[in-house]
Amino acid sequence: MEVRTRWGNPLTQLLSGTPEDAGFWENIEETLICGDVGVELSEKLVSDFRKLREKPGSMDLPAPLLFGKQLERIFLKDPLNGMPLRLEGTPSIVLLAGVNGSGKTTTAGKLASQFAKGGKTVVLAAADTYRAAAIEQLKIWSDRSGARLVSHGPGSDPAAVVFDAIQSAKANGADLVVADTAGRLHTRHNLMEELKKITRVVERETLAGNAEFLLVLDAVMGQNAFQQARVFGEALPLSGIVLTKYDNTAKGGVILSVVHELGLPVRYVGLGEKMEDLALFRPTDFIEALLGLAEGDLSKGELPS
């Protein structure tokens, strides 16, 4: 995992030092900030770790493992981190939001393909009507997966596309609708109003609890991705994050910021362009890779109370 070598290894080396070393705490905080953990959370992590190191029994665990267990607490607060989508009703809907270039359309196609492979009947809704390329790309995924594609012409009403896709699913007994949406943050107000309109359609046309609203974030964007999460969270009842380009970034710390400060669980990570390159996020694997720990290390020992 690239993130380990880019800032995880330096962090591990720093953690293995002693508090008496010059700049010990400041260097840890700086490394976290450079890894896009964010200033506020970096300060909190260092402060909490400092208190943890002072507790009796803290020296029974290696410092990187102790810090890893502290990070693990962030993910344990929300059991939905790394959990599959909750799709119980028929039809259910998964709506994907995010800025252009974040990987929404590819993620929509991967989800459709994975669910179709698992025996679900899927309808794809091409609700990014501002990019003809998005509609064409979703058509390719539709052909690959056998999912039915519902699309209108470029520039048409995105909410109408989602409405028609839900009606199509109901009429044909489909299990799931996966909807791609636009992401033009340069016209943010109009985009957010459109997303709110789509949300009203989804909530009106599906039973309560049958919808998942996922924000697709590009991990390479770092703290910019965090700011995007804030903006989209104001318009949508987000239920989780899909983090794309997960294997090619030194900015993996943004995961911690999103989970801790926005209270949004990371559900999936994108690892490439193939259908199977969309996987459930595994917090333990992420922390162990980040800190250079061996598989299973986080299960060893207990945090001092």
CATH of the domain at 185: 3.40.50.300
Q: Are residues 96 and 195 in the same domain?
A: yes
Q: Are residues 157 and 130 in the same domain?
A: yes
Parallel/antiparallel/unpaired status of strands 211-218 and 92-97: parallel
- When pLDDT is averaged across residues 157-185 and rounded to a whole number, the result is 93
- 305 occurs within a structural domain: no
**3-state secondary structure string across 2-47:** HHHHHHHHHHHHHHCCCCCCCCHHHHHHHHHHHCCCCHHHHHHHHH
**Lowest mean pLDDT segment, chosen from 154-158, 229-233, 276-280:** 229-233
How deeply is 38 buried, as exposed, middle or buried, from its count of CB atoms within 10 A (0-12, 13-18, 19+)? Answer: buried
Residue 273, domain extent: 92-280
C-alpha 246/C-alpha 272 separation (Å) is 9
pLDDT band for 305, please (50, 70, 90 cuts). confident
Q: Are residues 69 and 114 in the same domain?
A: no
C-alpha 99/C-alpha 21 separation (Å) is 43
Biggest CA-to-CA distance, the chain:
69
C-alpha 126/C-alpha 85 separation (Å) is 20
Could you give the number of structural domains in the chain? Answer: 2
- 108 occurs within a structural domain: yes
- When pLDDT is averaged across residues 94-118 and rounded to a whole number, the result is 92
C-beta pairs of 130-133 under 8 Å, 24+ apart in sequence: 130/154, 130/155, 130/182, 130/184, 131/100, 131/182
Q: Are residues 146 and 40 in the same domain?
A: no
- When pLDDT is averaged across residues 128-132 and rounded to a whole number, the result is 89
pLDDT band for 16, please (50, 70, 90 cuts). confident
Q: What is the dihedral of CA 237, 217, 229, 257, to 10 degrees?
A: 120
- 85 occurs within a structural domain: no
Q: Are residues 213 and 97 in the same domain?
A: yes
Q: Are residues 248 and 108 in the same domain?
A: yes
Contact (CB, 8 A) for 170 and 91: yes
Q: Are residues 23 and 148 in the same domain?
A: no
Q: Are residues 24 and 104 in the same domain?
A: no
Q: What is the pLDDT of residues 24-76, one digit of tens each?
A: 899 889 988 887 788 899 999 999 998 988 888 888 888 889 999 999 999 99
Residue 290 tokens read as 């980040």
Contact (CB, 8 A) for 183 and 192: no
pLDDT at position 3: 47
Q: Are residues 120 and 17 in the same domain?
A: no
In this structure, the number of other CB atoms found within 10 A of the CB of residue 111 comes to 26
pLDDT at position 273: 77
pLDDT at position 189: 65
pLDDT at position 21: 74
Q: Are residues 227 and 148 in the same domain?
A: yes
Q: Which comes out higher in pLDDT, residue 209 or 45?
A: 45
Mean pLDDT, the chain, integer: 86
Place of tokens 């119980």: 88
Q: Are residues 96 and 75 in the same domain?
A: no
- 111 occurs within a structural domain: yes
- 304 occurs within a structural domain: no
Residue 293 is given by DSSP the state: P
- When pLDDT is averaged across residues 204-212 and rounded to a whole number, the result is 88
> Is 90 exceeded by the pLDDT of residue 200?
yes
> Is 70 exceeded by the pLDDT of residue 12?
yes
- Calculate Rg over the CA atoms of the chain: 21
Q: Are residues 161 and 59 in the same domain?
A: no
Element (H, E) at 177: strand 176-181
Nearest to 115 by CA among 174, 182, 166: 174
User: Percent of the chain scored above 70 by pLDDT?
Assistant: 92
pTM above 0.75, yes or no: yes
